[in-house]
């Protein structure tokens, strides 16, 4: 297959009636369906094709994702893109439409689509699969009977109409009072005009993006960071500037450098038990970051999604609670991780001038948050039940973390073969971050792991750029201790099997591995 053929058929500006990517899709579809490109044959990389055709890489990415949608090709991170079938899926939906929708979607939608198109679909989880993927709390701690009692009491009381009415856009009065009290216990003093109740952390991010980010604006993020935050910023056409992190959180030199070279609109940080690495920002760095925010006049969005879940070590003040925090920090928290995610309740604390803008963005996007959930949670908090709950889950999650750390030490014992994995020891939160030797791929490991009955999130999902394939994110809170033990045993088995495909070198496998590695370096 001579890829230069494409040049003769696809040229920027040659046929203006069709977008470039459509020309590429049509041509490649023809080659695949006609057999000119055989099943399982490997395609050039995005970069190679972009250079060959002298087009933007995003054009190739879009063409690839269309071809992927058609079921014609399939991409595997770290391995490349292959022809999967020589017959395009015909869309079977009766709504299959007359409009050519693809040319009508907004840039926000295209960006979100492109991001998702790069993700491999998650394997369906069978009942005996042990999952360390995701980041969910566990059902055994859900407050069933307490909620039942509260809902019954409220609905039988004289105040029950408010369950059915719009809450104020800023949140239900009762819940606002309880959240302010909760914040105070966490060392955060905030006035009523500095607080907004939101429908979960993701909406908090969405509103902040809405209020601060215009297309082309720069947002600084830890690299790696929270997947859906990256999606949100990118779908608003923000430039996401990566700032590197180590086990003490974001690196100051990297941050200062980014601040000096980009006119940042926002710094997005998870100072405590970061997603995905579990890293916690040291107090020294917290102080210094606030100074930098002041110096460069840039607000910080502090995502405190698991601030309540510290298992040992000294509690650290949030950025919001430190000097300068009240002026420079927009603070977000949620009940999704420590209590339960189905409520979709969280909050934003911000200087009042900013808060009034966030409130307006909230109105424009969904008017207000569900009242029943707000009132039920407010009563739960007001009865002092959350404190007890936190103690209970902290103790359980600490045991689970310790169990996973213990199992890792047992099953991933250093062998001296040069193929040892390393992992983080988080002081709280949900995640352990496992690092494979740099030539290995978490995606490959995942294929073996799923055969053994265990799954996890490959770390490359969370990086802003580059090919970081050697990382594994393990969530330790959602399974009981014996299951964690068994899951890590399975993972180590999978790891051994994966290693055998490399260490037991058949020339061809080793060759493939080297090629893959080389492509990364191109």
* 292 makes contact with its own copies (CB under 8 A): no
* 112 makes contact with its own copies (CB under 8 A): yes
Sort 183 into a burial class: Cβ within 10 Å, 0-12 / 13-18 / 19+.
Answer: buried
**160 or 244, CB closer to its own copies?**
160
H or E segment to which residue 280 belongs: none
Sort 14 into a burial class: Cβ within 10 Å, 0-12 / 13-18 / 19+.
Answer: exposed
Among 2, 17, 90, 98, binds its own copies (CB under 8 A): 98
* 142 makes contact with its own copies (CB under 8 A): yes
Among 46, 254, 368, 441, binds its own copies (CB under 8 A): 368
From the CB of 78, what's the least distance to its own copies, in Å?
A: 25
* 75 makes contact with its own copies (CB under 8 A): no
In the window 174-193, what residues touch its own copies (CB under 8 A)? Answer: 190-191, 193
**369 or 516, CB closer to its own copies?**
369
Q: Collect all residues with Cβ–Cβ distance below 8 Å to 51 and sequence separation of at least 6.
A: none
Among 42, 87, 363, 425, binds its own copies (CB under 8 A): 363
Among 29, 62, 286, 326, binds its own copies (CB under 8 A): 326
From the CB of 362, what's the least distance to its own copies, in Å?
A: 10
Rama region for 324: left / alpha / beta (φ>0; ψ in -120 to 50; rest): left
Which of these segments, 24-32, 59-67, 292-300, 483-491, binds its own copies (CB under 8 A)? 292-300
From the CB of 378, what's the least distance to its own copies, in Å?
A: 14
**375 or 445, CB closer to its own copies?**
375
* 225 makes contact with its own copies (CB under 8 A): no
Which of these segments, 13-21, 320-328, 482-490, 505-513, binds its own copies (CB under 8 A)? 320-328
372 neighbors 167 (Cβ within 8 angstroms)? no
* Residue 326: closest CA among 190, 447, 431: 190
* 96 makes contact with its own copies (CB under 8 A): yes
**46 or 368, CB closer to its own copies?**
368
* 34 makes contact with its own copies (CB under 8 A): no
Among 88, 136, 390, 512, binds its own copies (CB under 8 A): 136
Q: What does each C-alpha distance from 377 to 21, 153, 159, 307 come to in angstroms? A: 49, 13, 15, 18
Among 327, 395, 506, 509, binds its own copies (CB under 8 A): 327
* 164 makes contact with its own copies (CB under 8 A): yes
Does a cis peptide bond (omega within 30 degrees of 0) precede residue 276?
A: yes
**51 or 184, CB closer to its own copies?**
184
Which of these segments, 154-162, 241-249, 380-388, 501-509, binds its own copies (CB under 8 A)? 154-162
Which DSSP state fits 459? G
In the window 202-221, what residues touch its own copies (CB under 8 A)? Answer: 202-203, 206, 210-215, 217
b/e code 489-508 from CB counts within 10 Å (16+ = b): bbbbbbbeebbeebeeeeee
* 161 makes contact with its own copies (CB under 8 A): yes
82 neighbors 73 (Cβ within 8 angstroms)? yes
In the window 328-347, what residues touch its own copies (CB under 8 A)? Answer: 328, 340-344
Q: Collect all residues with Cβ–Cβ distance below 8 Å to 227 and sequence separation of at least 6.
A: 461, 462
d(CA 396, CA 464) in angstroms, rounded, equals 33
- What the block records as the tokens of 195 is 């607080």
- What the block records as the tokens of 111 is 């960006």
d(CA 36, CA 38) in angstroms, rounded, equals 6
* 450 makes contact with its own copies (CB under 8 A): no
* 122 makes contact with its own copies (CB under 8 A): no
Report the chain's C-alpha Rg in angstroms.
Answer: 25
**45 or 237, CB closer to its own copies?**
237
* 119 makes contact with its own copies (CB under 8 A): no
Compute the residue count for the chain: 522
* 26 makes contact with its own copies (CB under 8 A): no
Among 160, 173, 248, 382, binds its own copies (CB under 8 A): 160
3-class SS string, 76-130:
ECCCEEEECCCCCCCCCCCCCCCCCHHHCCCHHHHHHHHHHHCCCCCCCCCCCCE
* 351 makes contact with its own copies (CB under 8 A): yes
Size of the site for its own copies (CB under 8 A): 92
Sort 328 into a burial class: Cβ within 10 Å, 0-12 / 13-18 / 19+.
Answer: buried
Which of these segments, 225-233, 271-279, 418-426, 442-450, binds its own copies (CB under 8 A)? 225-233
* 66 makes contact with its own copies (CB under 8 A): no
- What the block records as the tokens of 463 is 């990086």
């Amino acid at each position: 297959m001579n890829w230069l053929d494409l040049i003769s058929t696809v040229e920027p500006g040659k046929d203006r009636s069709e977008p470039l990517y459509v020309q590429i899709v049509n041509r490649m579809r023809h080659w695949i369906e006609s057999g000119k490109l055989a099943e399982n044959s490997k395609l050039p990389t995005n970069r190679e094709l972009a250079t060959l055709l002298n087009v933007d890489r995003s054009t190739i990415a879009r063409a690839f994702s269309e071809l992927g949608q058609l079921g014609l090709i399939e991409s595997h991170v770290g391995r490349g893109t292959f022809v999967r079938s020589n017959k395009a899926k015909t869309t079977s939906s009766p709504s299959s439409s007359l409009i050519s929708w693809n040319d009508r979607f907004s840039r926000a939608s295209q960006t979100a689509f492109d991001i998702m198109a790069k993700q491999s679909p998650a394997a369906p989880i069978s009942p005996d699969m042990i999952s360390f993927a995701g980041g969910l709390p566990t059902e055994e701690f859900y407050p069933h009977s307490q909620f039942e009692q509260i809902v019954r009491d409220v609905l039988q009381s004289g105040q029950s109409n408010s369950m059915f009415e719009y809450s104020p856009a800023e949140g239900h009065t009762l819940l606002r009072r309880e959240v302010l009290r909760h914040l105070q216990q966490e060392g955060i003093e905030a006035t009523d005009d500095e607080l907004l109740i939101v429908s979960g952390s993701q909406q908090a991010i969405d509103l902040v993006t809405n209020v601060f980010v215009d297309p082309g604006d720069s947002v600084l993020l830890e690299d790696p960071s929270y997947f859906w935050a990256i999606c949100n910023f990118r779908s608003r056409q923000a430039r996401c500037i990566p700032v590197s992190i180590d086990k003490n959180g974001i690196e100051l030199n990297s941050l200062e450098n980014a601040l000096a070279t980009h006119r940042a609109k926002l710094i997005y940080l998870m100072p405590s038990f970061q997603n995905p690495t579990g890293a916690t920002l040291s107090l020294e760095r917290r102080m210094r970051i606030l100074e930098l925010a002041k110096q460069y006049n840039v607000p910080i969005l502090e995502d405190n999604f698991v601030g309540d879940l510290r298992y040992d070590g000294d509690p650290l003040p949030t950025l919001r609670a430190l000097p300068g925090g009240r002026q420079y920090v927009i603070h977000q928290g949620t009940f999704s991780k420590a209590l339960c995610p189905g409520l979709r309740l969280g909050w934003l604390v911000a200087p009042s001038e900013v808060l009034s803008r966030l409130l307006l963005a909230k109105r424009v996007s969904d008017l207000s948050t569900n009242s029943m959930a707000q009132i039920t949670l407010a009563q739960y908090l007001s009865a002092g039940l959350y404190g007890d709950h936190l103690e209970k889950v902290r103790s359980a999650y600490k045991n689970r973390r310790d169990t996973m750390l213990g199992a890792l030490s047992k099953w991933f014992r250093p062998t001296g073969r040069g193929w040892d994995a390393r992992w983080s020891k988080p002081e709280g939160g949900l995640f352990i971050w496992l690092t494979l030797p740099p030539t290995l791929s978490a995606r490959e490991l995942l294929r073996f792991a799923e055969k053994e009955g265990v799954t996890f999130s490959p770390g490359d999902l969370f990086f802003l750029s580059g090919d970081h394939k050697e990382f594994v994110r393990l969530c330790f809170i959602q399974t009981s201790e014996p299951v964690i033990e068994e899951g890590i045993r399975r993972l180590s088995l999978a790891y051994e099997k994966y290693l055998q495909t490399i260490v037991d070198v058949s020339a061809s496998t080793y060759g493939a591995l080297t090629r893959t590695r080389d492509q990364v370096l191109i």
